[in-house]
Chains A and B, each alone.
Chain A
């Protein structure tokens, strides 16, 4: 047989490529369920790590089922909010956002040609009040994403965990691999009143006399990974700015706001029900007999 014939060559390559493509498509489809389950458990362990409920290495040893059980035990509320901080919808408590879903929301926040709708940003509140929100953006070689946990009703960061697709091992990959970098976030405060909510500073964040980072909204960038640090910084700014209204309106207790589910600020004397604005945690007592409560509501 003449294998150098043009027709033979074309048919041969076509057949082999189609066969290989069909095989790969079949394998990919049949393994998708398992891969998604692994990805979900991984995402949940990232959120738990950000909320300081354990370390990533511990969760890895626990296995998928135990991670899901731990999450079911800890999670209190999950819902989505829009850019004005109002609640859009409740999320099932076992639902998390995959990096792909975060990517879609990232387009929605940024607008432009890829926008598919108004942003619906997930908020996860654990039973101890820790609020976890995701971030997503572009690193140097590919996407970076992660989770930032805030203390109960506060703009103080409790912890953070970041992941990436293809940042340089040993440099940019440190956003994921270096626990010291992630630990820098703990205790820092996000500045929701500015567009620059959080800064990762090249050349070093301001330090106090003992050389510790001052607990403002600035931390040190990673040496040798300027582009990844900048990308992460932009991702955090974009996402936290999108959440700013939610945090300003709800999570940070100003003087006259009560937490959702708590009694009216005026206490026992007030007999009305406390209603919560959707997505917010301030209470509303329009018919409250208590003078203080009505005044407070008007101030809001």
Chain B
């Protein structure tokens, strides 16, 4: 694998993480991180949507009329989001989680990461790197989601993936952690940690 491709994959995971550096996709990361299971399903859905939409649009990139390119992007992204939603609804194991995530699966279409990466990367690059870029950005988003959900489920419900961890020791779940504001506080802390490691992000 050449260095440029490696950079495409690794950059969104840490150095150019869509949530902590680009500050995209904040809204859904506050909403779906109450449980690890919800966050995991959301993360996988976003990875699928960003990856495949980037791939399709990169394949089409030379044929798309410039004046309607955003509309074409929207159509493809919307199609992917509906497909993911329909598939989640069809399986017994994911039906309940789809109901719990409710509108947020549909709102993946408004997640700036998806359109952002298509505009910035997929329309100017070959299909394979575009696909990897989409997947990597989805993964970077998903990673932050899982970190936030880990703390929120552990402290807010005393469980991890629904399995009791803290409650057996007499832990009283903290209701503040369940509410969206706490997710924002956690996100702030993650950004803080990242900026203290990665000094070049700090404004002079």
Binding site for B on A (CB under 8 A): 1, 3-5, 8-9, 12-13, 16-17, 20, 23-24, 27-28, 31, 34-35, 38, 41-42, 60, 63-64, 165-166, 169-170
Contacts and interface: CB of A to CB of B under 8 A. Distances in A.
Contact of B63 (A3, A5, A35, A165): A3
Contact of B72 (A13, A24, A63): A13
A16 B87 CA distance: 22
A64 B91 CA distance: 10
| Closest A-B pairs by Cβ, 9 of them | A9-B65, A38-B95, A34-B90, A31-B90, A20-B79, A3-B65, A35-B89, A60-B96, A64-B92
A66 B7 CA distance: 49
B199 interface: no
Most buried by A among B62, B65, B96, B178: B65
B92 A17 contact: no
Contacts, number: 69
Interface in B68-124: 68, 71-72, 75-76, 78-79, 82-83, 86-87, 89-92, 95-96, 99, 102-103
B92 A38 contact: yes
Contacts of B170: none
Contacts of A27: 83, 86
Interface of B: 31, 62-68, 71-72, 75-76, 78-79, 82-83, 86-87, 89-92, 95-96, 99, 102-103, 178-180
A119 to B, nearest CB: 28
B64 A12 contact: yes
Q: Quick one: which of A4, A38, A60 has the most chain B CB within 10 A?
A: A38
A41 to B, nearest CB: 8
7 contacts: A3-B64, A16-B76, A31-B90, A34-B90, A34-B91, A42-B95, A64-B92
A173 to B, nearest CB: 9
B81 to A, nearest CB: 11
